[in-house]
Amino acid sequence: MERKRERKRRYTMRSLHRDIGFFVIGITIIYGLSGILLLYRDTDFLKSEKNIERVVAPNLKSTELGAALRMKGFKVVDEADDKIHFNNGSYNPATGEVKYTAKELPAFLNKLNGFHKIASSNVMHYVALVYALLLLFLAVSSFWMFKSKTIIFKRGLYLTGAGVVLTVIIFSL
Question: What is the rounded average pLDDT of the residues 55-67?
Answer: 90
Q: Taking a C-beta distance cutoff of 8 angstroms, is the pair 3, 138 a contact?
A: no
What is the pLDDT confidence band of residue 12, given thresholds at 50, 70 and 90? very high
Confidence (pLDDT) at 101:
94
Of 149, 145, 153, 155, whose CA–CA distance to 17 is shortest? 145
- As a whole number, the mean pLDDT across the chain is 91
Where exactly are the structural domains of the chain? 2-42+109-172, 48-104
Confidence (pLDDT) at 1:
76
Q: What are phi and psi of 102, to 5 degrees?
A: -135, 150
Confidence (pLDDT) at 129:
92
Q: Tell me the one-letter amino acid at 129.
A: L
- 92-123 pLDDT, tens digit per residue, is 999 999 999 999 999 988 888 888 888 899 99
E-only strand ranges, the chain: 48-55, 76-79, 84-86, 89-92, 97-104
Confidence (pLDDT) at 18:
93
- 13-43 pLDDT, tens digit per residue, is 999 999 999 999 999 998 899 889 989 988 9
Provide the CB-side half-sphere exposure for 98 (13 A, CA): 21
Whether the model clears a pTM of 0.75, i.e. scores above it, the answer is no
Confidence (pLDDT) at 162:
97
